[in-house]
Every structure is written in structure tokens, then in C-alpha cells.
Amino acid sequence: MKENKKTVLIVDDDVDYLAQMEIQVKRLGFDVLTADTQKAGEEIIIREKIDLAIIDLMMENKDSGFILCYKMKKINPKMPVIIASAVTAETGLNFGVETLADRSWIKADTFIEKGIRPDQLEREINKLLKI
């Protein structure tokens, strides 16, 4: 286990996916907080110290993840945010944060497709937290 555990917030309206991600992230040695709505995620980010967030894109609204990410970055600009979504599979739309244009409106640090393997998730988290 890591000393000075970091806290990861996971926000997703799919409770099964949320539970699976919570287990995976806890196995990596992090403390985990979860929320199943954009509003609940906003409330947590206001009252808790979060080191990294993993959020779904489509929750209450099709753009809930973008809105939540924007609000998170206003509160804590240095906190890494991963958007994990199945939006491409569901809509055919591609999103990413590779270009300056993308990053100008998508405030996430990383955009990953759902179905990420545990080792990939660990690499992304460690890279963003500089572990």
C-alpha cells in the first residue's frame, strides 16, 4: 500500500461500472469516493480533497461529464481528470484531448474508452499523479 494515500473520485451513473471501477482503483492502493450523478460529484469535489477524478461523459445529460470536468477544473485546476466513456461506441462521435483545439473545450487530462484493462488504468493514473 502507498503511504499518504491519494483519493480518487469516480463518477458514473452506471452503478455496476461504478462498483467495478471502485474495486479496481482500491486494488491499486487508493482511497476511493464514488458518485452516481453529476450533482453528487460536484458536491464531493467541493467538500473533499480529491487527487484525481475519473468521470463518465453521458450521465443525466449527454454532456454531464464535460460540465462536471469544467467545474472540477475551476475548483482545482491542477487535479487530473480522466473522462471514461463509451460515447464513441454509442454515438459514433470521437472525442479526445490530443490537440490544442480539443483541450480548449474538453478540460479533461485524458479521455479513455470504457473497457480499459486494469493495467492500462493503473498506467494512466500513475502517469497523471506522477507516481
Q: What is the CATH number of the domain that holds 78?
A: 3.40.50.2300
d(CA 8, CA 85): 17
What distance in Å separates the CA atoms of residue 85 and residue 116, rounded to the nearest whole number?
10
Q: How far apart are CA 71 and CA 14, in angstroms?
A: 21
Amino acid at 24: Q
Residue 1 falls within a domain, yes or no?
no
Residue 2 lies in a domain: no
Instruction: Quote the pLDDT of residue 131.
Output: 77
What domain range is 121 assigned to? Answer: 7-129
What pTM did the predictor assign?
Answer: 0.82
Contact 33, 10 (CB under 8 A): yes
N-to-C CA span, the chain? 13
Q: What's the whole-number average pLDDT of the chain? A: 83
Q: What is the pLDDT of residue 1?
A: 45
Looking at the domain assignment, is residue 115 inside a domain?
yes
* Residue 83 included in any domain: yes
Check: CB of residue 11 under 8 Å from CB of residue 35.
yes
Specify the number of domains making up the chain: 1
